[in-house]
Amino acid sequence: MLGFAQLFASRLVKAAAILIAIVVMNFFLVHAAPGDPAMVMAGEAGAADEKFVAQLRQQFGLDRPIYEQLGTYVGKVVQGDLGYSYRQQRPVWDILAERLPATLVLTLTAFVLALAAGVALGTLAAVAVGTWADSAITVIALLAYATPIYWIGLMLSLLFSIQLGWLPAFGYETVGAGYTGLAHAADVAAHLVLPVITLALFYMAGYARLTRASMLEVRSLDFVKTAKAKGLPQRRIVTRHVLRNAILPVITVAGIQAGQLVGGSILIETVFAWPGIGRLAFEAVLQRDYQVLLGIFLVTSVMVILFNILTDILYGLVDPRIQVSQ
Amino acid sequence: MNRTDPLRTPMEAAAMTTPLPDVPLLDVRGLSIALPPGADRPLAVDNLSFTLNPDEILCVVGESGSGKSMTAHAMMGLLPAPHVRVAGGSLRFKGKDVLTMPEAEQRSLRGGRIAMVFQEPMTALNPLMRVGRQIAESLREHTDLPAPARRARVVELLGQVGLPNPAELADAYPFRLSGGQRQRVMIAMALACQPDILIADEPTTALDVTTQKQILDLIRSIQAERHMGMMFITHDFGVVAEIAHRVAVMRHGKLVEYGPAAEVLNRPQHPYTRQLIASVPHYIEHRDDHAKQGAPLLVADKVRKVFHVGGGLFRKSKQVVAGDDLTLTIHPGETVGLVGESGSGKSTLGRSIVGLIKPDSGRILFEGTDLLALDRQGFRPYRRAVQMVFQDPYASLNPRHRVGDIVAQGPVAFGEDRTKALARARELLAMVGLDGSAADRFPHEFSGGQRQRIGIARALAMEPKLLVADEPVSALDVSVQGQVLELLDDIRRRLNLAMLFITHDLRVAAQVCDTIAVMRRGRIVEMGTAREVFTHPRDDYTRSLLDAIPGKGWRIPDDLQPVRAGAH
């Protein structure tokens, strides 16, 4: 167990180093993009004369040399200060904190659903390989994988909210209803159904295909033969021997995708008008709101790193061989 | 413990067996197993009949593809359905046909009454499950023992198969154990429910020779102690001589010879059996001493190589000494055998000489030039002079290149004209015994033995002075192995090639080497002429290696000696 703590600690130290590098790179990335925030701001204020623009630049420190701006930025980030959005006249951290829960609820629910359904379907297909059930699952998975995610979203809302009227088509909650407690939770859950299904379908297809392929590969390995030779029933062979080994590559892929879910929900949040980080990013790009954009980059990077560490730990728990390399 | 003397010879034991019971333990009659359409033959096993009695070891012998494993798999319900199926015949266990039993009943036989040990101990255990639990699974399925009693039984079993600290070992994961230990775990698993029949499918083929001896001793003593009927599948007549009471020889799915071990081993009747026995390498033979002429071609001087395993930003790496103080010389025309068990560092030395690995210190002198002191450019001419034949004939040829190109590639890279090189490639392919069309085909169209011939032709195309052959025959069947060894010997003599022959099989080394170097844990413990090493081994380890060769007590029948492959 000491080895485990050590592994965790060393991963955290590495993560911190990676994070600093990401902060610096993000900074340069944003500054490499065309467009001058001072010009945009001045343009929107309606007074675009040279003097005003210069004044804006000076006010926001944009006239300083780039490395000085970088130093200031990194210094602030290390202290936990993500800066101030002059567009929205609020600290970036507050804006993110307001949007983050919505995104996390959406993506994590979708992720868990996709993983559970994907592994279950993949297992089912692998066990019944060559039968109609296998073909049906493979075709559904292929369709879900190939269809553009926004199109599925639009079609689902067309069917379930517009035609049938069962579910709300967009938003996070019923505006102005003033629900509290359980009623509020139920309201959010109803809004959650369509975006979650849309997002989950796509990932589920991937996991189902991966699980199926991995199961079929593991099924032909020697130790499965050993398990059969022991006289174990089919059920036990599948769950204890095949699935446990087949799940390893799924965990690897799921770990990578879990990190990207937060940043990758832009499309789905736009289609369903979901007030999350994804839409915030979209708006920030349009408005050249560098501070917010940098903040979003940072948050999504932290998510990726966090999920990677989680995946490693999970992997270490599932696969005893990993601990050797400590 | 009432242990039967494990040292009694099997042939004596066979003579002592009690009169046969009315119903044999296992009675296989007219068994046929069909292969899917499009396979190289319609029946994997064709009208096979044999019986197995309690307290008897039946060795089923044959080369790969002879259907011996298929028979075992049919018995265990392990045939890859639906492609491969039993087409006819019966498999009676104590008079009851296993093939017509309902699945549930079959399952209670599997692992309960009939247990099986597989060839590959490295892959036969679930990597994610503690070994104790894997054994307990069998008990859980076939007995009513509660969990604590199962655990106690597992520890007891692990102790019985000779594993140290059984209580601790039960909680280990398979990757922590060596090959021999894993095979012991497999045996413990098979014995868990006290089966009547134990099927062992090449259980020692993947193991080192000393480990093989230990496992064979273990299997034999356990079989005798429990009076089990045992079906032992093997391709090695040395092993047969060591343990068999009766022998069944299979070829292309048919039983060609069947009888008591003493009969089949000493008076084989069928031509195929005679051919198989004739190609068994036997350590009794060794070459006449090689007359060393001239200056040494290659001198390895105090070569040392340490591998660093693992390690990273926050971890210290583990050091593995693969070679230490390795010194050996090879003269022109001499074949030096490098013998040792897996992990002894013999491949490391071979690869260092070819330049695939850079040793940490020491010198490798080729005709007086230190290869290790050369830079990339300076080393290049020597790449021609030293060529390698690899172990795995399946993996060492690029599957997307034509055989002719594979052979010609080396010379072309050294600036030879392509048409000329291709013409030479055809000559070489003919020289290694392949027909003219071989050059235009792809590697997958050839058998393992033929591919190894291609590998040899490829090495020869560079006109080397020294050939490093790393286990060139260990992936091949015994009769093919004999042919490839013969080819190597023939080429060596015709071209006056020097050869470093790396092998784990002392019998093979005895057959082809002038000088033998025995390696253990990265060191050469003994080096001398083949005659010295085999008749008067000086090192204890060499003695234990020689002692572990299976079938020492058996002499190949005299009338088969002259037809032996590679004999001179």
**How many angstroms separate the CA of residue A122 from the nearest CA in chain B?**
20
Residues B306 and B273 reside in one and the same domain: no
Least confident of A29-38, A306-315, B437-446, B536-545: A29-38
Q: pLDDT of B122-181, one tens digit each?
A: 889 999 899 999 999 999 989 888 999 999 999 999 988 888 888 888 998 888 888 888
B308 in the same domain as B275: no
With 80 as the cut, is the pLDDT of residue B319 above it?
Answer: no
- Let me know if B310 is exposed, middle or buried by CB neighbors in 10 A (0-12, 13-18, 19+): exposed
Check which CATH number belongs to the domain holding B323 and give it: 3.40.50.300
Do B244 and B351 share a domain, yes or no? no
B202/chain A closest Cα distance in angstroms: 14
pLDDT at position B286, please? 61
Segment 142-161 of chain B within 8 Å of chain A by CB? 142
Given a cut of 90, whether residue A170 has pLDDT beyond it is no
* Cβ <8 Å between A10 and B137: no
pLDDT at A325: 46
Mean pLDDT for all residues in chain B: 84
Which residue in the set A14, A230, A244 is minimally distant from B141, CB to CB?
A: A230
- Distance CA(A157)–CA(B290), nearest Å, equals 87
A231/B141 CB distance under 8 A: yes
Q: Please report the pLDDT score of residue B317 as a whole number.
A: 67
pLDDT of residue A242: 93
Contacts B189 to A, Cβ<8 Å: 226, 230
A225·B124 Cβ contact <8 A: yes
User: What is the reported pLDDT for B282?
Assistant: 63
B208 and B343 in contact (C-beta within 8 Å)? no
Chain B nearest CA to A322, separation (Å): 11
Residue B462 neighbours by CB under 8 Å, 6+ apart = B383, B384, B385, B387, B410, B411, B414
**Do B111 and A318 lie within an 8 Å CB cutoff?**
no
Residue of B318 and B440 predicted with greater confidence: B440
Q: How many CB pairs below 8 Å do chains A and B form together?
A: 86
Question: Is the pLDDT reported for residue A35 higher than 70?
Answer: no
Whether A219 and chain B come into contact, CB under 8 Å, resolves to no
Structure confidence by residue, pLDDT tens digits, A97-147: 888 888 888 888 999 999 999 999 999 999 888 889 889 999 988 888 888
Residue type, A284: A
Q: Are A225 and B141 inside 8 Å of each other by CB?
A: no
pLDDT on residue B278: 82
Q: Does residue B4 carry a pLDDT above 60? A: no
Dihedral Cα B136, B141, B145, B149, nearest 10 deg: 0
Residue A243 has pLDDT above 70, yes or no: yes
A323 interfaces chain B, CB cutoff of 8 Å: no
Question: Do B255 and B369 sit in the same domain of this protein?
Answer: no
Which residues are paired to B541 by β-bridges?
A: none
Residue of A nearest to B128 (CA): A319
CA-nearest of A269, A250, A261, A262 to A119 is A250
> Whole-angstrom Cα distance, residue B485 to residue B490?
9
From residue A190, alpha-carbon distances to A106, A187, A194, A270, A272 in Å are: 12, 5, 8, 18, 13
Q: What pLDDT does B134 receive?
A: 92
**Per-domain boundaries in chain A:** 99-283
Q: Is residue B214 part of a domain?
A: no
Report the C-alpha gap between A317 and A311 in whole angstroms: 10
For residue B48, pLDDT beyond 70 = yes
CB contact under 8 A, B128 and A326: no
Q: Does B351 map to a domain?
A: yes
Q: What is the pLDDT of residue B316?
A: 63
Task: Please indicate, yes or no, if residue B2 is contained in any of the structural domains.
Answer: no
Q: For residue A230, give the nearest of B137, B175, B315 by CB distance.
A: B137
Q: What per-residue confidence (pLDDT) applies to B12?
A: 47
Residues of B in contact with A230 (CB under 8 A): 110-111, 137-138, 141, 189
Q: How large is the average pLDDT for residues A218-236?
A: 89
pLDDT at B3 over 70: no
Tens digits of per-residue pLDDT, B388-430? 998 887 788 888 899 999 999 889 988 888 999 999 999 889 8
Asked whether residue B171 is domain-assigned, the answer is: no
Quick one: B344 and B277 in the same domain?
no
Range of the domain at B452: 298-548
Pairing between β-strand B26-34 and β-strand B85-93 as defined by DSSP bridges:
antiparallel
In CATH terms, is domain A99-283 a member of 1.10.3720.10? yes
> How near does any CA of chain A get to the CA of B99, in Å?
15
Is B520's pLDDT higher than 70?
yes
Does residue B13 register a pLDDT over 90? no
Rounded CA gap, B210 and B542, in Å?
A: 11
**Percent of all residues in chain B with a pLDDT value above 70, rounded to a whole number:** 91
Task: Assess whether B201 and B311 both reside in one domain.
Answer: no
Q: Could you tell me if B324 and B416 lie in one domain?
A: yes
- Which residues numbered 56-115 in A keep a CB inside 8 Å of some CB on B? none
Confirm or reject contact between A319 and chain B (CB < 8 A): yes
Q: Do A240 and B118 touch (CB under 8 A)?
A: no
Same domain, B202 and B246: yes
d(CA B88, CA B28): 11
Of B111, B127, B175, the CB nearest to A230: B111
The reply to whether B126 touches chain A by the CB within 8 Å rule is yes
Say if residue B98 is in the same domain as residue B247.
yes
Q: Are A233 and A209 in contact (CB under 8 A)?
A: no
Within-domain flag for B136: no
Tens digit of each residue's pLDDT (9 = 90 or more) over B185-205: 999 999 888 899 999 998 888
Alpha-carbon span B155 to B163, nearest angstrom: 10
Kindly state the percentage of chain A with pLDDT values over 90. Answer: 14
> Same domain for B486 and B370?
yes
| DSSP line for A163-219 | IS--S--SSSS-TT----HHHHHHHHHHHHHHHHHHHHHHHHHHHHHHHHHHHHHHH
Percentage of chain A modeled with pLDDT above 70: 93
CB contact under 8 A, B128 and A318: yes
pLDDT range class, residue B21, cuts 50, 70, 90? low
Domain count, chain B: 2
Q: In what order do the strands lie in the sheet with B369-370?
A: B318-330, B298-309, B361-366, B369-370
Task: Give the closest of A6, A225, A245 to B127, CB-based.
Answer: A245
Which residue from A223, A229, A244 is facing B110, i.e. has the nearest CB?
A229
Q: Does B414 touch chain A (CB under 8 A)?
A: no
Q: What is the mean pLDDT of residues B326-344?
A: 88
Write out chain B residues lying below 8 Å of A245, CB-based: 126-128
Is there a single domain that holds both residue B263 and residue B303?
no
- Based on the domain organization, do B275 and B305 belong to the same domain? no
Determine the residue of chain B that is closest to A6 in CA distance: B314
